[in-house]
Structure 1
Amino acid sequence: SMPDTAERGNRIMAIFHFTVKIVGRSKGKSVISASAYLNGDVMKNEETGRISYYTSKKEVVYTSLMMCENAPPEWLHVPEENIKRFQQSIRYKRADDKDAALEKFKITFQKQRLWNEVLKIEKNADAQLGRSFEFSLPKEWSRQEQIDYTTEYIQKTFVDEGMCADWSIHDKGDGNPHVHLLVTMRPFNPDHSWGSKEVKDWDFVRDTDGNIVVDESHPDWWQDKKNPDRHGIRIPVLDENGVQKVGARNRKQ
């Protein structure tokens, strides 16, 4: 089958793979570890004290952090003492390009702050922490085109919609350049505080006047425990075969 194509100006780009996963507490996958892998760097999980090392990953050819408009600007602050400590490190002293090494350190520090802040707010054992994407890039593109087009795509698709985007391009030189991307799931309020995650609004059975039918004996009757005013007979979500979709923990959708 032909790969999906996305038109870019007068170019057609073939997207050969595109995967999406949720990084959550219940899966046992650390969002700090996921970010450290994506960046090919070292990150500390402030909650557990665990440090993730991925400095041997040489295929990370570009890395970026794009914060959305309402994210707290102070999360981007890298303290002077941390910079000085890094400049004393073997990694910095051995780096061929010291400016690039310092820039990478700062970005990684900022990403570490972002995901540790996510861990502070998402306390539930089954909390969803972020969405993880991986997609391939056309190897015909120059590195700059890969960076520019990916930046534009992530800005429009995620950052403009209120998400922070932690991403990098990996390229082992084997003809498979690809992007690893982690985005936040909880929105920010205009005052830079965390907002509420969207509550799924069910479609409820309504009468001819458009009012929600109240029948608590109906098998599909549902009431929100936290907000009892949200209630009704849920209209089931069916898959393409007309079968009731079932979500996590066998909950009807």
Structure 2
Amino acid sequence: MAIYHLHVKVIGRKSGSSAVASAAYRSGSRLRDERLDSSHDFSAKRGVVHSEVMLPENAPQAWSDRERLWNDVEAFEVRKDAQLAREVEFALPRELTQARGIELARDFVRGEFVDRGMIADLNVHWDIGEDGMPKPHAHVMLTMRQVSVNGDENGFGPKVREWNRTEMVERWRERWAELANERLAELDIDARIDHRSLEAQGIALEPQTQIGAPAKRIEIRG
């Protein structure tokens, strides 16, 4: 059964995060953090089946190197509470093959982020859940500034406030459902996802009482 999930958050220094460390973890790689003079090694992480940095047309090619990109972001953002990157995480339909899932993720990221001028660090994870079923999902770290087109050496322009708007997030949520459903239909797969809440879909669920494991064992014995 296809599951809808798309979550957006900001990676920033205020919460103690590092863009380099975050990129290393999501890509399952080892990256050198120049600002902190340390290395973040997640090369033993399993389940990363695709990893790439996707650049808009006017971005320096040097930023296709993940380590260079996020170290440059860290160097440019000088505030102690700087917002370093935006992350969009979304679930891929488990009915797709890995190749089809990666293709779908790339199409969504290209159309909604890269074509708007963001640099996107895309990593697709194909984990296996406790139920033995695949839990494919994608992590996309996005730059928050325009890529400079005036020859500035650092390559960064101002932050784009429009990318922070609630309306933009809602567009991404809706567009992901549309694109995923279009692809599932093209492949004649009988599964669909819906970005709307259960209430908006007209689905009423009765509240369930959660029983912890110890209490459940007592209930069974009784």
TM over 0.5, shorter chain: yes
2:128 is equivalent to residue 173 of structure 1 = yes
| Alignment partner, residue 156 of structure 2 | 194
Q: String of CA shifts for 1:74-94, please: whole Å, max 9, x gaps.
A: 334xxxxxxxxxxxxxxxxxx
Secondary structure of 1:195 counterpart: strand
- The 1:181–1:198 alpha-carbon spacing in structure 2 relative to 1, beyond 3 Å, is closer
Secondary structure of 2:20 counterpart: helix
- Structure 1 CA distance for aligned equivalents of residues 114 and 60 of structure 2: 14
2:12 is equivalent to residue 24 of structure 1 = yes
1:135–1:178 CA contact under 8 A, matched in 2: yes
1:15–1:135 CA contact under 8 A, matched in 2: no
- Structure 1 gaps, min length 5: 1-12, 77-109, 201-253
Q: Give the residue type in structure 1 aligned to 2:150.
A: D
In the alignment of these two chains, the number of paired residues is: 155
Could you tell me which of 43, 68, 82 is aligned with 1:127? 82
- The 1:144–1:52 alpha-carbon spacing in structure 2 relative to 1, beyond 3 Å, is same
Which TM-score applies when normalising by structure 2? 0.66
Secondary structure of 2:160 counterpart: coil
Could you tell me which of 22, 40, 56 is aligned with 2:44? 56
Q: Give the residue type in structure 2 aligned to 1:189.
A: S
Q: CA deviation at 1:14?
A: 4.4
Q: Give the residue type in structure 1 aligned to 2:102.
A: I
Q: Give the residue type in structure 2 aligned to 1:162.
A: G
| Alignment partner, residue 136 of structure 1 | 91
- Structure 2 CA distance for aligned equivalents of residues 187 and 151 of structure 1: 20
| Alignment partner, residue 106 of structure 2 | 151
- The 1:72–1:191 alpha-carbon spacing in structure 2 relative to 1, beyond 3 Å, is farther
- Structure 1 CA distance for aligned equivalents of residues 67 and 115 of structure 2: 22
2:138 is equivalent to residue 183 of structure 1 = no
- The 1:15–1:184 alpha-carbon spacing in structure 2 relative to 1, beyond 3 Å, is farther
Secondary structure of 1:68 counterpart: coil
- Structure 2 gaps, min length 5: 163-222
Q: Give the residue type in structure 1 aligned to 2:7.
A: T
Could you tell me which of 58, 62, 67 is aligned with 1:74? 62
- Structure 1 CA distance for aligned equivalents of residues 160 and 45 of structure 2: 36
2:2–2:95 CA contact under 8 A, matched in 1: no
| Alignment partner, residue 221 of structure 1 | none
| Alignment partner, residue 206 of structure 2 | none
- Structure 2 CA distance for aligned equivalents of residues 187 and 15 of structure 1: 33
Q: CA deviation at 1:73?
A: 2.1
Q: CA deviation at 1:15?
A: 4.5
Q: What is the alpha-carbon root mean square deviation over aligned residues?
A: 1.7
Which TM-score applies when normalising by structure 1? 0.58
Percent identity (aligned): 36
